[in-house]
Chains A and B, each alone.
Chain A
């Protein structure tokens, strides 16, 4: 009887202890990110702005008829902004506002896609390199070094120019091929530290496979770094895409993007007199890049306990 009671007591005590632990458990990564953003007003405004723009352009692109927007209308060439054309028209009489909506959607979509693809490649490459270290690391890092010194813009342009059956997908793949190295390097140095820690060593001693340690144990521990880097990369990739489209080597000619709107400035008269064609796109690129960066910087602080403001 008394023994049973004691056992019950112990169980109760253990349970209490566990509950206590649950309460004291440090907040989840997402919570920390969120708290930091709430604390940093600039990041909060940026996040709201970015989400708003994303929702608006994706929504508007669904409503707008792409064929209608890109239809040439010879009677309305170079109209300044008016009630009918909110942001005027271009040399084909096409509505700039509609192009801006669809263009921003395209630029954002490709930004997300390239960030995701290059992120996956970079993370896998980096984590493998850092985790195994030694000769594997050495060899993989020489590959990264090599890609790093290549004249990236020129090579992307050459590929874009000679690839047969050019499409948005091939464009993303070409960009990805030259944009995965930065994140790979970062993740690699983090993985290098991480694998020396007790939990990874212990797991290895217990007989876990390398694959399990890498993907189930090391990777979750560096998620915050991955999120931060990819957010900052997103900002950069939006800029790179618009730059390439500006030069005429990004989106196919009939597909509007923020960069193609800017490329209308190859006509000096457009640059000088028809600001409504290119200036909104330029401002939007800047605001988008800035806002994503603001969020990224806040996340970066959140990921490093010493820098947190919240």
Chain B
């Protein structure tokens, strides 16, 4: 296991370096540079040239890359010219909202996916399984943004059950019970949209796993020993099938990031995805660069985490 972990880490390091290089090249291709956020229109040309020199913008690319990387490692992503504040600070303000959205979505994904998958696998080919399979079939073909849009239209606008934007009712004191309740209320519809579409893979996986395990010898043995049906399912079948699902969580991170871009946009939810679209529209590129890099690193670490957990759970997949 340690051998695998070390090998897997060895793959991760060049991945992150390559990602940073791509992001750096993209940042260089974007119009404007680190100065754009600082510039004051009253400054003279000489002063600007002086500042360029001071910021190292005239250096060769490899020195610029090194300096940029050194800054990034210390959490310095430059200035946002739209908000006139350090990018790191700006992202911190938003990241917490996306964190809550992702957390609630993830909880829902499992809260919906596990029971549906288990029921579907246990009672396969009966009516209830056919209903669940129908749902996963539809869910698999539905893009999350269309589902979110229709959900917002029906439950937000037509029925008025949920707020149609923002992350909290304005004017509430942070920390109070109403504040938390309002936050949850704002979170519910967006995360439900992500979860109902995102859970489909979990349901399908669990179903086929359980159907597969049901016919294995060790289950027949368990039955032959006289284990009651409940015990057979809870102790023998589910335990075998649920572990890999827990491990898939890391791979889900990339889906959560992609999903949150659409969902935050639709529900005008002030998180990272929303900030990303807003910044790219306003050409606030230092924010864009930081967000792409952070999301990329999150996704790479997520895959790493999943691979390692999976190798612990299932020794067959350890790469050589």
Among B162-211, those with CB < 8 Å from A are 164-165
Contacts of A240 in B (CB 8 A): 143
Cβ proximity bits A149-166 to B, threshold 8 Å, 1 near / 0 not? 111111101110110000
User: What's the minimum C-beta distance from A75 to chain B, rounded to whole angstroms?
Assistant: 28
A157-B280, A247-B265 known; A149 and B149 CB under 8 Å? no
Interface check A145, CB cutoff 8 A = yes
Q: What is the minimal beta-carbon distance from B184 to any residue of chain A, in angstroms?
A: 22
Flag if A290 contacts B141 (CB, 8 Å). yes
Q: How far is the CA of A286 from the CA of B258 in the complex (A)?
A: 19
Contact of B262 with A243 in the complex, beta carbons under 8 Å? yes
A145 touches B11 (CB 8 A): yes
Q: A243-B143, A243-B262 in contact; A262/B149 too (CB < 8 A)?
A: yes
With both beta carbons as reference points, the residue of chain A lying nearest to B15 in the complex is identified as: A146
Given known contacts A154-B261, A158-B288, A162-B29, is B146 in contact with A149 (CB within 8 Å)? Answer: no
Q: Report if B127 contacts A (CB, 8 A).
A: no
Measured as residues with beta carbon below 8 angstroms from the partner, the interface class of chain A is 35 or more
Using Cβ atoms and an 8 Å threshold, which residues of chain A touch B141?
Answer: 235, 239, 286, 289-290, 293
| Cross-chain contact B258 with A268 (CB below 8 angstroms) | no
Residue of B nearest to A155 (CB): B292
Is A217 located at the chain interface by the 8 A CB criterion? no
Is there contact, CB below 8 Å, between A162 and B30?
A: yes
Q: Is the CB of B157 within 8 A of A289?
A: no
Q: Are B276 and A154 in contact (CB under 8 A)?
A: yes
The verdict on A239 contacting B11 (CB below 8 Å), with A157-B280, A162-B30, A272-B153 known, is: no
B254 adjacent to A285 (CB under 8 Å): no
Q: Taking the nearest CB of chain B, how far is it from the CB of A309, in angstroms?
A: 15
Is the C-beta of A25 less than 8 angstroms from some C-beta in chain B? no
Kindly supply a per-residue 1/0 record for chain B positions 251-270, scoring 1 wherever the CB is within 8 Å of any chain A CB and 0 otherwise: 00010011001100110000
Q: Which of B51-59, B219-227, B293-301 contacts A (4 or more CB under 8 A)?
A: B293-301
CB distance from B135 to the nearest CB of A (A): 13
- Given A151-B257, A239-B143, A243-B262, are A271 and B299 also a contact pair (CB < 8 Å)? no
Min CB gap B87→A, angstroms: 15
Decide: A282 and B280 in contact? CB cutoff 8 A. no
Q: How many Å lie between the Cα of A182 and that of B29 in the bound state?
A: 28
**A152-199: which have CB < 8 Å to B?**
152-155, 157-159, 161-162
Closest to A268 in B: B164
In contact, B295 and A154 (Cβ under 8 angstroms):
yes
Closest CB in chain A relative to B318 CB, distance in Å: 15
Partner of B277, one of A235, A247, A278: A247
Q: B137-166: which have CB < 8 Å to A?
A: 138, 140-143, 145-146, 149-150, 152-153, 157-158, 164-165
Whether A252 is near chain B, meaning CB under 8 Å from some CB there, is no
Query: Are the C-beta atoms of B145 and A246 separated by less than 8 Å?
Result: yes
Taken together as a complex, chains A and B put the C-alpha atoms of A217 and B14 apart, in Å, by 36
> Which residues of A have CB within 8 Å of B262?
243, 246-247
A235: chain B residues within 8 A (beta carbon)? 141
Instruction: Say whether B157 contacts A272, CB under 8 Å.
Output: yes
Q: Determine if B34 is an interface residue (Cβ-Cβ < 8 Å).
A: no
Contact residues in B for A133 (Cβ distance below 8 Å): none
- Tell me the smallest distance from the CB of B199 to a CB of chain A, in Å: 18
A272-B157, A290-B141 known; A153+B152 contact, CB < 8 A? no
> In the complex, which residues 277-306 of chain A have their Cβ closer than 8 Å to any Cβ of chain B?
278, 282, 285-286, 289-290, 293
B112 adjacent to chain A (CB < 8 Å): no
Q: Chain B residues near A152: list those with CB within 8 A.
A: 254, 258
* Least CB separation from B157: chain A residue: A272
Q: How far is the CA of A285 from the CA of B141 in the complex (A)?
A: 10
- Once A158-B288, A162-B26 are accepted as A-B contacts, the answer to whether A286 and B254 lie under 8 Å apart by CB is no
Contact A150 B299 (CB under 8 A): yes
Q: Mark B285-313, 1 if CB is under 8 A from A, else 0.
A: 00010011001100110110000000000
Q: Contact between A242 and B143 (Cβ–Cβ < 8 Å)?
A: yes
Q: What mask results when residues 123 to 145 of chain B are scored 1 for a CB within 8 Å of chain A, else 0?
A: 00000000000000010111101
A70 interface residue (CB < 8 Å to B) = no
Minimum distance in angstroms from B246 CB to a CB of chain A: 20
Structural contact, B292 and A285, CB atoms closer than 8 A:
no
Q: How far in angstroms is the closest Cβ of chain B from A174?
A: 12
Given contacts A151-B254, A272-B153, are A158 and B292 in contact (CB under 8 A)?
yes
Contact of A247 among B15, B31, B261, B295 (CB under 8 A): B261
Name the distance in Å between B48's Cβ and chain A's nearest Cβ: 23
Which of B11, B164, B254, B281 contacts A142, CB < 8 Å? B11
The residues of B that contact A239 with a CB separation of less than 8 Å are 141, 143
Q: Which of A105-157 contact B (CB under 8 A)?
A: 142, 145-146, 148-155, 157
Of B31, B146, B150, B152, most buried by chain A (CB within 10 Å of CB) is B146
Which residues, 54 to 70 on B, are CB-close (under 8 Å) to A?
Answer: none
- Is B38 positioned at the interface, with any CB of A under 8 Å from its CB? no
- Give complex CA distance A216, B92 in Å: 56
For chain B residues 73-128, which have a beta carbon within 8 Å of chain A? none
B19 beta carbon closer than 8 Å to chain A: yes
Judged by a CB distance under 8 angstroms, whether A81 is at the interface is no
A221 part of interface (Cβ distance < 8 Å)? no
CB-defined contacts of B257 to chain A, threshold 8 Å: 151, 153-154
Known: A158-B292, A243-B143. 5 other contacts (CB 8 A): A152-B254, A155-B26, A248-B277, A265-B149, A293-B140
A sample of 11 cross-chain residue pairs with beta-carbon separation below 8 angstroms, ordered by A number, consists of: A142-B11, A149-B296, A149-B303, A150-B299, A151-B257, A157-B280, A158-B288, A243-B145, A246-B262, A247-B265, A271-B153
